[in-house]
Structure 1
């Protein structure tokens, strides 16, 4: 049996992740492989760490990617911090708060949760009150929740955690490089990102950074290495064990040895993915963080204007909307999956459904990274209108594109002072 050469369809990906990969990232992934201890490669590693610090807006010593999807970074950070019986508070306002809870429970934490209605976020003082009541070792929270399209304010929570000596861990997978995150200014002790969303890099790495407060916790858990007397023995990892931290692959102390100046072997680095991450970070910094955040806001506003002018409703509290995800209420009587299938099959556009209590009630449209472009917004609005008409929905024909164009025109006038 013979197999044809791979030929994937060309899609316009407007989901909350993965999104379209920047062509410049795809190009660097085809560049030659070098060994992971080649000076040329270790130089790339150093550049990636330096660029991550700038994107995270931190002066932390440790900023590097964990090889694996976004979940790998979350698990690595949490499993390296949690000891059985540790109190962890997880405020839940969507699907991924439940993920944080599950990971903490798997590592035998004593997990406390608080929940609010999906489509809302917490008043920061509510979370602070719960922290004061429980006195957890760790508070872990999602910043941008893609399942509901909401963004949780963090500044006051971070300041309270620092004052109360609670470690503050944040899932910023959906928000990093798409909206403002200031790790140091917001007193975030550890934060996890993903590559496949606003960075416009394929899924497969999870950038993290953490400060000396977390590093001390990890160092205290690292069992003293016994029987290692020579540099050669250390390089070969003889009797090198970390039984207190249950995961070998996700042991942050071992990843520090790998990413630190000693470069002790831990795993074989995902070379082409690191090339991709470096290029994605370079593109972000070349555009400029504020310019990039503003671009995401501009296209979000145009999309929302078009959706509402079409006659559709937006889901969730607008005061806490995540700029990179727009949730659209599905009209009554409409086969939601039929609409998504027609968009994909007839127009090559992919939008997302949702989870849990919101499944079948909303569509989620991502405006992230390289997918966040004017032509994509206009194409999606036009195609969605056509598909809804074919499904018998009484939309305001022709209004969506005009409203989006008006939104772009207004931005243009504002930029030149008109």
Structure 2
């Protein structure tokens, strides 16, 4: 049996992840393999840790990637601090809040949830009042909910959690590298990112950071194996407590990423090259400028969508700048529109989940995908596809309004020279 030559179709990816990968990252991935304890490779590990501290805006000792997708990072952080019967409070305002709840339940936590209507977020005072009632050990919350295109304010919640000695764990998968995530300033104890969104690296790593408050809990759950020096000099989870995953055990990963360099798993060499290059690009651009770039292209996209005659889903005041949710016009087959965009124009956008499935489209403007040519191409193609589907749109207006945003921005930039 023979197989055809390996060929991947060219796509303009405008989903909430995965997104397009910078060519410089792809080039870095083709570099020769090094052994995981080669000094050249451990030097790369150290560089990645320092770059992640800058990305997360933290002075935490621990900032490193979990080998696995974003969900792996979430599970690693939660399973390493949850013990049987621990109270965990999870405010849910979209699909990924439910994921946090499921993971916590699987590790034996007593999970408390509060929910608000999809398309909204919580007033921080609502969360604070629930913390007062529940008195949890952990609050776990999503920062940017890609299923609804909304972003939850965190600073006030973080301050109160610190006052109450509650650990605050944050899913920042959709926000890190694309908008403000200020770990230390917002009093976030543990934060999880993902490579496949605003960092613009292929899916497969989950950068995390956590402070000494989290580390204290992690280390309290270790004991030396029967008091015997083993060939691995390894610590194992304490007996009588919830069993910690071996692969996701942060105490073992600390030994691997720390100066001891104890073998835990074989590091994903090429992915670490990719992450290093992706982080180098981000820091080279500058976080403030990068966030401004994401806001600019968001403004252009929103201006184009609304000028076309379409409407946005959700509370605009709490909009996630890296994801734009568009209401599907009445009577329109949203999946048919998506298929035509993909097959006729090579552009991919996303549908949504649960109660929003078939009701909204989700458009990602993340990382390397967040470019002017992508925005203009999408608006042009979307108008053409909607006209084909007999949707009454303001023809030509969408692209023109987006162009106005870019032209005005150019005038501002030129005035600054």
**Counterpart selection for 2:284 from 278, 283, 286:** 286
Q: Give the superposition deviation at 1:228.
A: 3.0
Matches of 1:234 and 1:136 in 2, distance apart? Answer: 39
Match of 1:187 in 2: 187
1: CA distance, partners of 2:45 / 2:121: 37
1:332-363 CA distances to partner (integer Å, 9 max, x unpaired)? 10011000000000000000000010001100
Q: Deviations over 1:164-212 (max 9, x none)?
A: 0000000000000000011001000000000000000000000000000
The answer for the alignment partner of 1:235 in structure 2 is: 232
Instruction: Work out whether 1:168 is the aligned partner of 2:163.
Output: no
Per-residue displacement from partner, 1:396-416 (whole Å, max 9, x unpaired)? 000001000001111122233
- SS of residue matched to 2:199: coil
The gaps in structure 1 that reach 5 residues or longer are none
Aligned partners of 1:268 and 1:389: how far apart in 2?
Answer: 52
TM-superposed CA distance for 1:242, in Å, is 2.4
Superposition pairs of residues 75-94 of structure 1, within 5 angstroms: 75-94=75-94
Equivalent residue for 2:139?
A: 139
1:14 aligns with 2:6: no
Contact 1:228–1:234 (8 Å) recurs in 2: no
> Which of residues 362, 378, 402 is equivalent to 1:404?
402
TM-score, structure 1 as length reference? 0.97
Equivalent residue, structure 1, for 2:334: 336
Structure 1 contact 34–41 (Cα < 8 Å) conserved: yes
Match of 1:226 in 2: 226
Aligned-residue offset at 1:4: 2.0
Name the structure 1 match of 2:97.
Answer: 97
Distance 2:61 2:233 in 1: 26
Partner of 1:262: 260
Residues 290-349 of structure 1: per-residue CA shift (max 9 Å, x gap): 000000000000000000000000110000000000000000100110000000000000
Which 5+ residue runs of structure 2 have no aligned equivalent? none
For residues 222 and 121 of structure 1, the distance between their equivalents in structure 2, rounded to whole angstroms, comes to: 38
**C-alpha distance in 2, partners of 1:234/1:321?**
52
TM-score, length basis structure 2: 0.98
- SS of 2:80's partner is helix
1:11-410 equivalences under 5 Å are: 11-229=11-229, 233-235=230-232, 237=234, 240-242=235-237, 244=241, 245-410=243-408
The separation in 2 between residues aligned to 1:126 and 1:328, in whole angstroms, is 28
Contact 1:159–1:186, Cα closer than 8 Å, also in 2: yes
Distance 1:296 1:269 in 2: 32
Deviation at 1:227, TM superposition (A): 4.0
User: Would you identify which runs of 4 or more consecutive aligned residues in structure 1 move more than 6 Å?
Assistant: none
Q: How many residues align?
A: 413
In the alignment, is the contact (CA less than 8 A) between 1:88 and 1:137 conserved in 2? yes
The alpha carbon displacement at 1:241 in A equals 3.0
Kindly indicate whether the alpha-carbon contact (under 8 Å) linking 1:315 and 1:362 is maintained by their aligned counterparts in 2: yes
- Taking the aligned partners of 1:259 and 1:228, their CA distance within structure 2 comes to 23
CA distance in 2: counterparts of 1:76 and 1:332, whole angstroms: 42
Q: Distance in 2 between matches of 1:137 and 1:44?
A: 35
Report the RMSD for the aligned CA atoms in angstroms.
Answer: 1.1
